[in-house]
């Protein structure tokens, strides 16, 4: 009897998975496979790749760009692109460095002002984009130049500013919770929350007699999350413990995921990505949502910029330039957020950054030249975009069938 029920559930899953695949809802499956492949390849090339030390460093290295990529996810959901995030991240770092180091403003105040500078820059761009209806990538291209110029003028002649090695911002990426208990507690809380939310949903649906998840599927979900979380905690504890940066990153991603998927505001963002005209007819305030999205993107860029500055404890004229912008956009897209708008979650920024940083780290560890690294990352990005486009097309074809 039990065996029969089990086969029944398995058959149910197979049908659901097959339906999702044929409907083009691949979700994060491809990127997880790519990540696994990358890890296997580099581990076989160099056994140090999956060492606790390397993985721990990897988990801190993804944070700065990852936070910027989370902001990019919001913009991509609208079907737009924000090219100014690199410059804004540099601007925020410069504001912080000049205020704190050169002018002696308290660290916390300088930090707040720096983040707000990003918010303001994003809001200005968002409002002009929403009002003029010039595509966001053009508005933010202008922003890219403007904010970069502003950063250079703020830094002035000094060029490079070194941050306090033991200051608040430096601690952002250098602090580790050395006690083993912290990492395990965070893992337990994470898995517990996943279980509670799913269980509560099941109970409410059951109460009103609607279809609900089986206890088994809830247990499987929670189990998968718990295994990943506890494995990560175990590995991190074998080096220096849970990095503060990683904790902040994951909390922000989870919080913004909640905002996007469980609030009125988030629903509006998705709706705008699905069709501006439809959203307008449903009397959503398009201008306000578009402005807010770019404001969030600017804010996240500023926060990411501070983490990047913290990693090298200095701010220079080259902060926020180079491949940072491209990596942030690539991370969001590789992670599974659609370039066409309306599909994706903040978690894709985490997955995408893991892929990009794993490639970078593996290349460094195996002494491969940077040129090859760029080409491989480019290849992965191309594959991600193709998958995105194909799955979108198959979804539409599925609708007509």
Partner 1 sequence: MPSPPLLALRGVCKRYGVVEVLTDIELEIHAGQVVALLGDNGAGKSTLVKVIAGVAPADKGVIEWEGRPVHIRRPHDAQDLGIATVFQDLALCGNLDVVGNLFLGREIRKFGFLDEVEMERHSLQLLKRLTRGIPDLRAPVVSLSGGQRQTVAIARSLLGEPRVLLLDEPTASLGIEQTGEVLDLVDRLRERGLGVLLISHNMGDVKALADRAAVLRLGRNNGFFDVNTASQEQIISSITGATENVPRRMVPREAGW
Residue 123 touches partner 1, criterion: CB under 8 A: no
Write the binding mask 210 to 249 for partner 1: x where contact by CB under 8 A, - elsewhere: x---------------------------------------
Size of the site for partner 1 (CB under 8 A): 31
CA 42/CA 61 separation, integer angstroms = 17
Give the pairing type, strands 161-162 and 242-243: unpaired
> Which of residues 5 and 205 has its CB atom nearest to partner 1 in the complex?
205
Residue 267 touches partner 1, criterion: CB under 8 A: yes
Q: Is the dihedral of CA 26, 32, 33, 34 positive or negative?
A: positive
Residue 278 touches partner 1, criterion: CB under 8 A: yes
CB of 394 to partner 1, least distance (A): 10
CB of 24 to partner 1, least distance (A): 9
> Which of residues 44 and 283 has its CB atom nearest to partner 1 in the complex?
283
φ/ψ of 369, rounded to 5, equals -65, 155
Exactly one of 275, 311, 312, 385 binds partner 1 (CB under 8 A); that residue is 275
CB of 77 to partner 1, least distance (A): 9
> Which of residues 340 and 382 has its CB atom nearest to partner 1 in the complex?
340
CB of 304 to partner 1, least distance (A): 27
Residue 5 touches partner 1, criterion: CB under 8 A: no
- Using the rule CB under 8 A, give the single segment among 123-131, 157-165, 168-176, 393-401 that binds partner 1: 393-401
> Which of residues 238 and 288 has its CB atom nearest to partner 1 in the complex?
288
CA 307/CA 238 separation, integer angstroms = 24
CB of 170 to partner 1, least distance (A): 36
Q: Which of 88, 58, 205, 222 is nearest to 154 (CA)?
A: 88
Residue 284 touches partner 1, criterion: CB under 8 A: yes
CB of 186 to partner 1, least distance (A): 23
Which three-class secondary structure state does DSSP give residue 240? Answer: coil
For 164, residues 6+ apart whose C-beta sits below 8 A from its C-beta are 100, 101, 107, 170, 313
Q: Which of 321, 304, 355 is nearest to 70 (CA)?
A: 304
Exactly one of 149, 179, 201, 389 binds partner 1 (CB under 8 A); that residue is 201
Exactly one of 262, 364, 379, 386 binds partner 1 (CB under 8 A); that residue is 262
CA 260/CA 384 separation, integer angstroms = 22
Angle at 107 (CA atoms; ends 105, 109), nearest 5 degrees: 70
Q: Which of 198, 190, 197 is nearest to 233 (CA)?
A: 190
The number of residues making up the chain comes to 401
Which three-class secondary structure state does DSSP give residue 1? Answer: coil
**DSSP symbols for 270-293:** HHHHH-HHHHHHTT--HHHHHHHH
Residues that bind partner 1 (CB under 8 A): 23, 201, 204-205, 208, 210, 258, 262-264, 267, 270-271, 273-275, 277-284, 341-343, 395-396, 398-399
């Amino acid at each position: 009897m039990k065996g029969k029920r089990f086969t029944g559930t398995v058959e149910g899953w197979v049908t659901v998975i097959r339906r999702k695949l044929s409907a083009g809802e691949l979700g994060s499956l491809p990127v997880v496979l790519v990540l696994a492949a990358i890890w296997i390849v580099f581990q076989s090339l160099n056994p140090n790749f999956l060492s606790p030390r390397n993985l721990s460093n990897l988990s801190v290295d993804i944070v700065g760009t990852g936070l910027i990529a989370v902001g990019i996810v919001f913009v991509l959901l609208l079907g737009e692109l924000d090219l100014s995030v690199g410059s804004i991240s540099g601007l925020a770092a410069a504001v912080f460095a000049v205020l704190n180091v050169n002018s002696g403003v308290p660290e916390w105040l300088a930090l707040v002002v720096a983040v707000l500078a990003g918010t303001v820059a994003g809001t200005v761009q968002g409002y002009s984009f929403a009002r003029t209806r010039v595509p966001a990538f053009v508005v933010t291209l202008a922003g890219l130049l403007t904010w970069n110029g502003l950063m250079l003028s703020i830094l002035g002649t000094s060029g490079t500013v070194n941050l306090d090695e033991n200051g608040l911002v430096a601690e952002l990426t250098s602090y580790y919770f050395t006690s083993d208990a912290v990492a395990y507690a965070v893992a337990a809380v994470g898995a517990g929350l996943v279980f509670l939310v799913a269980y509560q949903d099941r109970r409410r649906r059951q109460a009103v007699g609607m279809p609900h998840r089986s206890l088994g599927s809830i247990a499987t979900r929670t189990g998968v999350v718990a295994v990943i979380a506890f494995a990560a905690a175990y590995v991190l504890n074998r080096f220096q413990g849970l990095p503060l940066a990683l904790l902040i990153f994951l909390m922000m991603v989870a919080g913004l995921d909640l905002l996007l998927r469980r609030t009125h505001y988030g629903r509006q963002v998705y709706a705008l990505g699905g069709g501006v005209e439809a959203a307008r007819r449903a009397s959503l305030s398009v201008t306000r949502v578009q402005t807010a999205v770019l404001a969030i993107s600017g804010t996240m860029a500023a926060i990411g910029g501070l983490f990047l500055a913290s990693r090298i404890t200095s701010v220079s004229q080259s902060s926020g330039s180079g491949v940072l912008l491209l990596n942030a956009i690539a991370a969001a897209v590789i992670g599974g957020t659609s370039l066409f708008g309306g599909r994706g979650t903040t978690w894709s920024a985490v997955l995408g950054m893991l892929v990009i940083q794993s490639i970078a780290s593996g290349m460094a560890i195996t002494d491969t030249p940077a040129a090859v690294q760029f080409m491989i990352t480019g290849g992965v990005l191309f594959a991600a975009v193709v998958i995105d486009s194909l799955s979108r097309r198959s979804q539409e074809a599925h609708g007509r069938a």
